[in-house]
Amino acid sequence: MRLQVLGCSGGIGGQLRTTALLLDDDVLIDAGTGVGDLSMDALAKIDHIFVTHSHLDHVTSIPFLVDTVGGMRDRPLTVYALAETIADLKAHLFNWILWPDFTQIPSPERPMLRFSPVEVGKAQTIAGRTITPMPANHVVPAVGYRLDSGRGSLVFTGDTGSSEELWQEVNRIENLRYLIVETAFSNAERALAIRAKHLCPSLLDEQLAMLTRQAEIFITHLKPREGDMITREINEGALRWGPKILQHQQVFEF
């Protein structure tokens, strides 16, 4: 498996892109603004999008992607998400008001877009790659994803606050190699992080205390205005786990 980071910021500006990860050349994990940097040919190769949750910074490129390359494809683009997330995308995005309903275009029998519901713990296997929804705790229904090549696993938490259930599942992964964890706010905004069900460095420290597996840890989703402060606080508080800040265009192979 090869995972390329197309976007890993909690906002935009300059070179910042919101969350999107490209697995090999045909699978997206979330579809934030970073998808727009891909070439037309690369966009046309994407067959599957696994969505963590319905928030705009994680789904904003789906409408543009299907509109741009849908007519170039001979099969629909498939979006995998919780049933609740799919309902939200249908009601609030692909609703003929914000964007056309591409599950009906050019016809319901031959759509450019289709949805496939997922459930926590139930794996999907695509060309030998196993993708399993993981528990998450966010203000809307949400999941993370475990990506398993057979030789190694990477866990992407998506947006989540404190979740004992998540760490219980992570600790069961015998071939865990990489862990990508969100930390959106600085410690000064701990109360906001708790309310918004995100993490700050002190909350991250509490969550990692539940981790019993060895893994390389990377931090994502920093709010741009607080990026330097969050990084400094992570380095001060979580040194024993050695986390690194996830970088745009970073590549993982496992």
pLDDT digits (tens, 9 = 90+) for 128-154: 999 999 999 999 999 999 999 999 999
Number of domains forming the structure of the chain:
1
Is 95 in contact with 133 (CB distance < 8 Å)?
no
Is 200 in contact with 183 (CB distance < 8 Å)?
yes
Question: Measuring CA to CA, which residue among 136, 109, 105 is closest to residue 120?
Answer: 136
Is 154 in contact with 180 (CB distance < 8 Å)?
yes
Question: Measuring CA to CA, which residue among 8, 36, 2 is closest to residue 22?
Answer: 2
Q: Is the pTM of this model over 0.95?
A: yes
Between CA 18 and CA 182 the distance in angstroms is 12
Tell me which residue range forms the domain holding 227.
Answer: 2-253
Is 102 in contact with 113 (CB distance < 8 Å)?
yes
Tokens of 252: 């993982």
State residue 237's pLDDT score: 79
Which domain CATH number covers 174?
3.60.15.10
First to last CA, the chain: 5
State residue 236's pLDDT score: 87
Report whether pLDDT(240) > 90: no
Between CA 14 and CA 23 the distance in angstroms is 24
Report whether pLDDT(254) > 90: yes
Between CA 130 and CA 148 the distance in angstroms is 5
State residue 82's pLDDT score: 99
